[in-house]
Amino acid sequence: MEYVYAALILHETDEEINEDNLTGILETAGADVEESRVKALVAALEDVDVEEAIESAAAVPAGGSGGGAAAGGAAEEADADADDEGADDEAEEAEADDGDDDDGGDGGEGLGELFG
């Protein structure tokens, strides 16, 4: 996520989003910089209008899913693609978290079971 934040900082300060600038921000922030992730993000953002992506992502209501989410998620997708292991770990964590929200379903766990 820090790679996406670095790209947003560059955008907000009207600096070019390139490998050198991204690497500089990440190193200054103390992040471990992976050159392949930097290259993947820069390549993914080449054809993206960052301002339009930000506006369309902001237009999606909370909890909603719309076309803006796809445009706004382009940078995040590039970041996730560059780090397949991290994406797999996140997917596994999300699946594990889904079971925590059980309200009395098949597992017999949750508040619903406490009160009958």
Asked whether residue 107 is assigned to any structural domain, the reply reads no
Query: Per-residue pLDDT tens for 87-96?
Result: 444 444 444 4
Per-position DSSP letters for 40-68, written without gaps between them: HHHHHHTT--HHHHHHHHHTSPTT---HH
How far, in Å, CA of 82 to CA of 76, rounded?
Answer: 10
Task: Report CA 99 to chain centroid distance, whole Å.
Answer: 22
Asked whether residue 113 is assigned to any structural domain, the reply reads no
Asked whether residue 52 is assigned to any structural domain, the reply reads yes
- As to burial, measured by CB atoms within 10 angstroms (0-12 exposed, 13-18 middle, 19+ buried), residue 57 is middle
Domains in the chain, number? 1
Instruction: Note whether 41 and 7 are within 8 A (CB).
Output: yes
Query: Per-residue pLDDT tens for 2-41?
Result: 999 999 999 999 999 999 999 999 999 999 999 999 999 9
Asked whether residue 63 is assigned to any structural domain, the reply reads yes
Write the single-letter amino acid at 12.
E
CATH number of the domain where residue 49 is located: 1.10.10.1410
Asked whether residue 22 is assigned to any structural domain, the reply reads yes
pTM score, whole prediction: 0.53
Tally Cβ neighbours within 10 Å of residue 58. Answer: 9
